[in-house]
């Protein structure tokens, strides 16, 4: 049985094709202005990667902020459920999932039966999100893929960054550059402030091991290390942490398809 999960996030669109109990292929592309077009593109790329046609896919579930706009999905399911499903499929021992995406940051707590027992969401402002880090990376003129490593290569104490609002933080960063503070130290200061902010969400949700970080920001090793320091626990990171929501959607699609075929 071939099923698919498609996650239309604020920043990245992801598709996972799932067959015979494992991931067949996946694709990640930037979310464009038109969600319908984005969903068609990301699905087409995953199909090419898996050497399949759309007609071969028996059931499709969509998730993410653009989930209602996927024309070829039979069902849509919330990101919270899909992230928990995908994370627990990869690592059944996970009890706390921190998903840091482009526009929001969420903490999901699961029990030993894999049931969601609590979740806390930060969606009101950019603090503690990928978008915040994207703005800082652009301000520092460093590619997003490099900011994590750069933040760990330090010669001096990082500055204390007080602003949690992205616009004020950008101004603070420009001022630090003018004062000759090295970009790596600035990044470390930014990550420390962001990690503290995110930790308050984890604290609210209640922390328990094992701990997993998902979403595109889980690829940022500097942020991962800061979060590990805050919770005093090693984070589990999937091979491709950005597709965990789409994987969960594909798993729901497999279950729904099996039910429909009964
Ligand atoms: P959403 O689902 O909300 O669209 P994603 O989980 O796709 O968000 O994450 C998008 C964010 O991930 C970007 O804003 C960016 O900060 C971060 N990101 C993506 N790829 C990388 C990478 N290779 N290294 C560091 N950060 C990354």
The whole-number average pLDDT for the span 69-83 is: 96
Neighbours of 183 (CB within 10 A): 18
- The least confident of 51-55, 163-167, 243-247 is 163-167
Tokens 């030993």 — which residue?
Answer: 112
> Mapped to the 3 state alphabet, what secondary structure does 41-61 carry?
HHHHHHHHHHCCCHHHCCEEE
Residues with CB under 6 A from ligand 1: 9-12, 31, 64, 101-103, 130-131, 133-134, 144-145, 148, 215-217, 219-220, 242
Residue 2 CA, chain-centre distance (Å), reads 24
Phi, psi of 17 (to 5 degrees): -100, 130
pLDDT above 90 coverage of the chain, percent: 89
**b/e map 51-85, b = 16+ CB within 10 Å:** ebeeeebbbbbbbbbbbebbeebeebbebbbbbbb
221's tokens: 């090793």
pLDDT tens digit sequence for 93-137: 999 999 999 989 999 999 988 899 999 998 777 778 999 999 999
Cα 73 to middle of ligand 1, angstroms: 24
Collapsing DSSP to helix, strand or coil, 107 comes out as: strand
* Ligand 1 center–CA 11 separation, angstroms: 7
pTM of the complete model? 0.96
Return the pLDDT at 140: 96
Predicted confidence band of residue 180 (pLDDT cuts 50, 70, 90): very high
Which range has the worst mean pLDDT, 31-35, 54-58, 135-139, 144-148?
A: 31-35
Of all residues in the chain, what percent carry a pLDDT higher than 70?
100
Q: What pLDDT is recorded for position 128?
A: 82
- Average pLDDT in the chain: 95
């Amino acid at each position: 049985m071939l099923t698919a999960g498609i996650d239309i996030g604020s920043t990245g669109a992801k598709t996972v094709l799932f067959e015979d109990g494992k991931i067949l292929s996946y694709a990640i592309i930037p979310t464009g202005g038109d969600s319908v077009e984005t969903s068609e593109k990301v699905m087409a790329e995953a199909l090419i990667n898996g050497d399949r046609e759309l007609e071969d896919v028996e059931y499709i579930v969509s998730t993410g902020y653009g989930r209602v706009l996927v024309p070829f999905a039979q069902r849509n399911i919330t990101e919270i459920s899909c992230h928990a499903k995908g994370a627990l499929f990869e690592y059944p021992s996970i009890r706390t999932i921190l998903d840091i995406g482009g526009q929001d940051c969420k903490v999901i707590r699961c029990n030993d039966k894999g049931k969601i027992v609590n979740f806390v969401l930060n969606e009101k402002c950019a603090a503690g999100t990928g978008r915040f880090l994207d703005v800082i990376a652009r301000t520092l003129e460093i590619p997003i893929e490099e900011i994590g490593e750069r933040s760990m290569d330090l010669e001096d104490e990082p500055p204390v960054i007080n602003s949690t609002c992205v616009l004020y933080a950008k101004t603070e960063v420009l001022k630090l550059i003018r004062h000759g503070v090295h970009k790596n130290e600035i990044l470390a200061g930014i990550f420390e402030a962001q990690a503290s902010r995110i930790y308050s969400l984890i604290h609210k949700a209640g922390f328990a091991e094992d701990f997993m970080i998902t979403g595109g920001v889980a690829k940022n090793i500097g942020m991962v290390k800061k979060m590990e320091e805050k919770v005093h626990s090693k984070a589990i990171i999937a091979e491709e942490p950005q597709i965990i929501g789409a994987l969960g959607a594909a798993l729901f699609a497999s279950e729904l398809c099996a039910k429909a075929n009964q």
